[in-house]
């Protein structure tokens, strides 16, 4: 399992996930850069993602949905705020309407992903900052922690292939 640490800090309104992979930082970066690669792991196996718009430039955005086992679709929207390949990716994450446009439902989560070389390969850290205790609690209640663990757990298989 690539997740080596998972910290939810309700006081600071943050969630931090640390993973390590037996691959180069450049290869791990490709998992974010290419939407077809991202679809293979963003979302737990039972809620796979489909990216129907992916403008991977600072100020660009991504529109996607995850499809549940019963066909339910949960839409998401990102705005890329900082891209420094292959080291840092920052984005604003929001839920979206069926048309892919962002909604204020549950506010905005700011996420910063860092990718760095380590002796065993690459460490990827996902740091999420929430707007409020209510937002963080709702995301945890929706299964964000287990969902992230399951999603990130798919990466080793992708890198091995």
Token pair 């037996």 is found at: 22
Token pair 């039972």 is found at: 46
On the question of pLDDT at 1 being above 80, the answer is no
Alpha-carbon gap, residue 56 to 99, rounded angstroms: 19
Question: In sequence order, what are the residues at sequence separation of 6 or more whose Cβ sits closer than 8 angstroms to the Cβ of residue 121?
Answer: 20, 21, 22, 23, 24
Tens digit of pLDDT for each residue in 123-154?
Answer: 999 999 999 999 999 999 999 999 999 999 99
On the question of pLDDT at 52 being above 70, the answer is yes
Please state the φ and ψ torsions of residue 109, each to the nearest 5 degrees. Answer: -110, 130
Give strand ranges (E) for the chain: 3-9, 14-21, 49-54, 61-67, 73-84, 88-95, 109-118, 121-129
Tens digit of pLDDT for each residue in 56-109?
Answer: 999 999 999 999 999 999 999 999 999 999 999 999 999 999 998 999 888 999
Question: Nearest 5 degrees, angle CA 3-CA 7-CA 8?
Answer: 130
The model's confidence at residue 160, banded by pLDDT at 50, 70 and 90, is: very high
């Amino acid at each position: 399992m690539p997740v080596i640490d998972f910290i939810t800090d309700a006081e600071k309104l943050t969630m931090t996930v640390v993973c390590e992979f037996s691959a180069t930082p450049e290869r791990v970066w490709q998992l974010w850069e290419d939407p077809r690669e991202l679809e293979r792991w963003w979302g737990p196996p039972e809620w796979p993602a489909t990216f129907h718009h992916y403008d991977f430039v600072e100020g660009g955005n991504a529109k996607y949905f995850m499809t549940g086992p019963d066909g339910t679709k949960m839409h998401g929207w990102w705005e890329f705020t900082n891209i420094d390949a292959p080291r840092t990716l920052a984005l604003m994450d929001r839920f979206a309407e069926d048309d892919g446009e962002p909604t204020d439902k549950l506010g905005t989560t700011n996420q910063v992903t860092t990718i760095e070389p380590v002796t065993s390969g690459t460490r990827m850290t996902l740091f999420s900052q929430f707007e409020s205790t209510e937002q963080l609690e709702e995301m945890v209640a929706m299964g964000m922690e287990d969902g992230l663990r399951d999603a990130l757990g798919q990466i080793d298989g992708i890198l091995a292939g």
